[in-house]
């Protein structure tokens, strides 16, 4: 499966999954609960970025950007659960930036197949 086929499969799976879950309420029960959810999501997104940064099928500029996200996440990870307001802001900002980065992977065009002449 090439990158284009896998990104189409990913898009279909994500859209199917997204349609199957109810929208959460706009408010969390506490600020701590909100922080825990953000850390959980950010951890998962950083793990995805790590896999992308190590995948040779991903274009080099996207692998580099994914690796930068991983490095930034790793710089925040030691403060998990006890970060300053500035570190919380950096974490939330990182979460948003990764969220904006991932759809760019779906825009990658696969190289045409080479004929074996």
Q: What is the pTM of this model?
A: 0.69
For residue range 47-100, what is the model confidence (pLDDT) as tens digits?
Answer: 999 999 999 999 999 999 999 999 999 999 888 878 888 998 999 999 999 999
Determine whether 91 is exposed, middle or buried from the number of CB atoms within 10 Å of its CB (0-12, 13-18, 19+).
Answer: buried
Please give the pLDDT value at position 27: 64
CA dist 93 and 64 (Å) reads 19
């Amino acid at each position: 499966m090439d990158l284009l086929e896998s990104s189409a499969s990913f898009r279909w799976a994500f859209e199917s999954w997204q349609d199957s879950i109810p929208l959460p309420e706009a408010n969390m029960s506490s600020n701590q609960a909100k922080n825990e959810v953000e850390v959980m999501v950010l951890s998962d997104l950083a793990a995805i970025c790590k896999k992308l940064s190590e995948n040779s099928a991903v274009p080099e500029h996207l692998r580099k950007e994914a690796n930068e996200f991983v490095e930034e996440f790793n710089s925040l990870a030691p403060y998990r659960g006890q970060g300053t307001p500035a570190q919380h802001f950096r974490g939330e900002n990182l979460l948003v930036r990764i969220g904006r980065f991932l759809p760019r992977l779906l825009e990658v065009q696969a190289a045409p197949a080479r004929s074996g002449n």
